[in-house]
Amino acid sequence: MENTITNREAEPVAESNDLSLVLTPLEDLRGFLFHHLGRLLLFLITSSSVIAVFLIFFFVIREAMPFIKEHDLIKFLTSKQWYPEADTPKFGALSMIVGSAYVTVASLIFAVPVGILAAVFLSDIVSFRIREIVKPVIEILAAIPSVAYGFFAVLVLAPWLQNKFGFTTGTNALNASIILSIMALPTIISVAEDSISTVGRELREASYGLGATRFETIFKVVLPTAHSGIIAAVILGMMRAIGETMVVWMASGNAAQIPAPWWNLSQSVRTMTASIAGEMGETVKGSDHYYSLFATGVLLLILIFTLNLISEYFLVSAKKKLGKI
């Protein structure tokens, strides 16, 4: 804070009987130290998250460096051949990248419509009391740890899928996608609901006042107005799905292949996260394989960082828009 201070001799108008309003030099010094050093200290502590992000990038990239230097990055990104432990090892991560994208997109196909509809339901349709009941359901869905979902996928869903649809294996892309969509739902719902309910009451009333039904109001006025926030919600859900490890590791079957034909969800796939989780335990520290897994980690990190920036852009623009209204 900047105060324009005009220093003038204080005229004694009335004598203060108890406390002096003037700081003694010692108090002054103590106050100065307390204020500035304390602030600095707090600032440094607060910077720990910056330091953490920096360290994460630095150390993951550092461990990936030997691989990046020695191998053809283009090949890493475009080859399907992943034979890290062969005599002439091959590091082509394409099938893993495609696998990640595959289960993510498949899960969003289910999670986005359901999530948005549920958000609309919570913000525009039901009473406060029902919302109070449904909210904990969403919170618990979000709180169930991923390993428990993975457990469910392997021991309950996989046998069921296998028996019901006659798949050759129950742990496949479909299984992983179903579970991922359940896990992405709470994120999508809460972010979307936030942005939908911040669309002002006035807009809704204007629309209803012109004779629109609720459906029309929501689709023509509310959702278009809240679209930035909804896009952000979808991206955040996507981040959750891409970054998820235990579920895809346990449920996706872990075959490093690209499904053919491409719509065949009943085939096993392997994602980047599952590949890191599954193979890191078996590698020797310092081997090419070990470094290549860190390179996969870097890829993930870059991906998530980019998505994060995009989602932030949309969230900020959602805020700005509502500021204008």
Partner 1 sequence: MPTSTIKNQAKSDHIDSVVSLSEKKTSSSKSELDCQCPVVKAENFSFYYGSKAGVKDISMEFYPCSVTAIIGPSGCGKSTFLRSINRINDLIPNTSVKGNLFVNGHNVYDKNTNLVNLRQQVGMVFQKPNPFPKSIFDNIAYGPKLQGVKSRSKLQQIVEESLKAAALWKEVKDDLKKSALALSGGQQQRLCIARALATKPNTLLMDEPCSALDPIATGKIEDLIGRLQSDYTIVIVTHSMQQAARISRRTAFFCLGELIEYGSTVDIFRNPGKKQTEDYVTGRFG
Partner 2 sequence: MKYNTRHIINKIFTVVTAASVVLMIVILISVLGPMIWRGSSAVFFKSTVEFRKMQLDLHHRGDEAEIGDEISKSEIYRDFIYHKIDVFKKGINTDYYTDRVKQIYRKFSKELQYNGIKGDQLSRRRKFARGIRRDMEKAFKSLDKAEILQIIDDVNKCKGDERIANTKADEFFVLADEYKETIKNFDLSKRQQYAQALKEVEGLVRQLLGPRSDEPLPAMVMDRYGATRVDLAKELLDKIIWKRQWVQQNPDKPMVEEKVRRATQFAGTELESIFPYIEENFDTITIPRFTFYWQYFFDDSTSGHYFGGVGPEILGTLILTVLAMAFVFPLGVISAAYLVECASDNMAVRIIRMSINTLAGVPSIVFGLFGLAFFVLVFIPFFGGPSKPCILAASLTLAVLTLPVMIRASEEAIRSVPKTYKEASLGLGAGRFRTFVKVTFPAALPGILTGVILSLSRVAGETAPILFTGACAFGSVPKSLFSQTRTLSYGSYDIAVGDKIGMLVPHNQYGMVVTLVLLIICLNAIAIFFRAKIFRRLKGH
Given the rule CB under 8 A, which residues bind partner 1?
A: 1-8, 10-23, 27-28
- CB nearer to partner 1: pick between 21 and 284: 21
Q: Which does residue 74 bind out of partner 2, partner 1, none, counting CB within 5 to 8 angstroms by kind?
A: none
- CB nearer to partner 2: pick between 86 and 237: 237
Task: Please state, in angstroms and rounded to a whole number, the distance separating the CA atoms of residues 304 and 6.
Answer: 52
**Which residue has tokens 């998250």?**
49
Q: Which does residue 139 bind out of partner 2, partner 1, none, counting CB within 5 to 8 angstroms by kind?
A: partner 2
- CB nearer to partner 2: pick between 206 and 302: 302
Nearest to 266 by CA among 174, 176, 188: 174
Q: Which does residue 185 bind out of partner 2, partner 1, none, counting CB within 5 to 8 angstroms by kind?
A: partner 2
Instruction: Kindly compute the dihedral angle of the four CA atoms of residues 147, 153, 156, 162, in this order, to the nearest 10 degrees.
Output: -160
Give the shortest CB-291-to-partner 2 separation in angstroms: 11
- CB nearer to partner 1: pick between 2 and 87: 2
Which DSSP helix (H) or strand (E) runs through 107?
helix 94-120
Give the shortest CB-26-to-partner 1 separation in angstroms: 12
Q: How many Cα atoms within 13 Å fall on the side-chain side of residue 164?
A: 9
Q: Which does residue 284 bind out of partner 2, partner 1, none, counting CB within 5 to 8 angstroms by kind?
A: none
First to last CA, the chain: 31
Give the shortest CB-38-to-partner 1 separation in angstroms: 15
Give the shortest CB-7-to-partner 1 separation in angstroms: 7
Q: For the residues of 273-317, what is the DSSP string, one character each?
A: HHHHHHHHTTSPTTSHHHHHHHHHHHHHHHHHHHHHHHHHHHHHH
